[in-house]
Amino acid sequence: MGLAVAKDTFLHARAIERGIFSTDPKGQLIFTLTDGSSSALTVENMKKILRKQETARDANVLALLDLRFDAECAIQALADYAVKNARWIAGKGYPIDALDSSDTVKLMYASHHLGGGDLLNYINDAIEEDRAKELLVAQVGKARAELLAAAQEGEYVAAQRYWLNDYIEGKIVPKAFCCDPTNIPSGRSIIDISDFLRKGRNERG
């Protein structure tokens, strides 16, 4: 929903194209419910609509949410989300622009799993135990999360950190998706990328 509201995303353009978003007589972007009531198109207003039982299942709301089942929209949303997270982290002084293409892809994939805030904490090795447990359970289920933590002396922080690292190493292999992989770097692990970004920010002061 947030990506659809943001004006520089594919989802935003598609929502306008399909008439889900429109403009009022003053040219302001609005979102209109099936009962004819409308509000300015902002993330906060959309959250209010989603939080109310009487409006959360409005046909126009569902039309917007159903864009996630459109393959092109889903792919473009993932890319837009990752780019926004990368820009946000770069704005905090981390040398994102110094990463090669494979490192960048791995970082963007990590942002898909974690979101901006948790990714920043992952980079800084600052995810707290309760949050690490929550993240790991969400990804692999309670039973496996307990086994992974047990293998790290009961620490969910270490279990979540190394699970994500290994998962990305296994899933994101840029060379495997290229017609000519000869000039494509293998990329570092997400833990090594995090160490590089953290060190680079510290050097920048």
Report the alpha-carbon distance of residue 93 to residue 204 in Å, rounded.
7
**pTM for this structure?**
0.78
Render pLDDT for 85-128 as a digit per residue (tens, 0 to 9): 888 999 999 999 999 989 999 998 998 889 889 999 999 999 99
Report the alpha-carbon distance of residue 26 to residue 190 in Å, rounded.
47
Give me the pLDDT at residue 149, please: 97
Give me the pLDDT at residue 71, please: 95
Give me the pLDDT at residue 35, please: 93
Helix, strand, coil shares of the chain, percent, nearest 5, are: 70, 5, 25
Q: Which amino acid is at 157?
A: V
Residue 201: name the closest of 89, 100, 77, 113 by CA.
89
Give me the pLDDT at residue 112, please: 84
Residue 136: name the closest of 118, 117, 109, 116 by CA.
118
The ranges of the chain with pLDDT < 50 are none
